Amino acid sequence: MGLMEFFTAVPTMPADAVKRLLDEKGPEHFNLIDVRQPGEYAEQHLAGARLIPLGELKDRIGEIDPAKPTIAY
């Protein structure tokens, strides 16, 4: 057993695959979470995305529906 057994990559998805998924199934079937800062969200965000900045994620985890897949950016 080596060091890297302690770390495993988080699954990621290319932007075009996310677009296809949202188009096919509709954003209501996902937790689409914008984890950037409020100023960045105000400037531009994906349609239907909910703003939960990284620093607030711990306290607002209850806002994420565990029954739906979550896409974060």
- Contacting positions for another protein (CB under 8 A): 1-10, 12-15, 18-19, 36-40, 44-46, 53-55, 57-58, 71-73
Q: Find the shortest distance in angstroms from Cβ 33 to another protein.
A: 10
Select 12 or 28, whichever has its Cβ closest to another protein: 12
Q: Find the shortest distance in angstroms from Cβ 46 to another protein.
A: 6
Of 25, 1, 21, which Cα lies nearest the Cα of 73?
A: 21
Measured CA to CA, the distance from residue 18 to residue 15 in angstroms comes to 5
Identify the helix (H) or strand (E) that includes residue 33: strand 31-34
Q: Compute φ and ψ for 38, nearest 5 degrees.
A: -55, -40
Select 40 or 65, whichever has its Cβ closest to another protein: 40
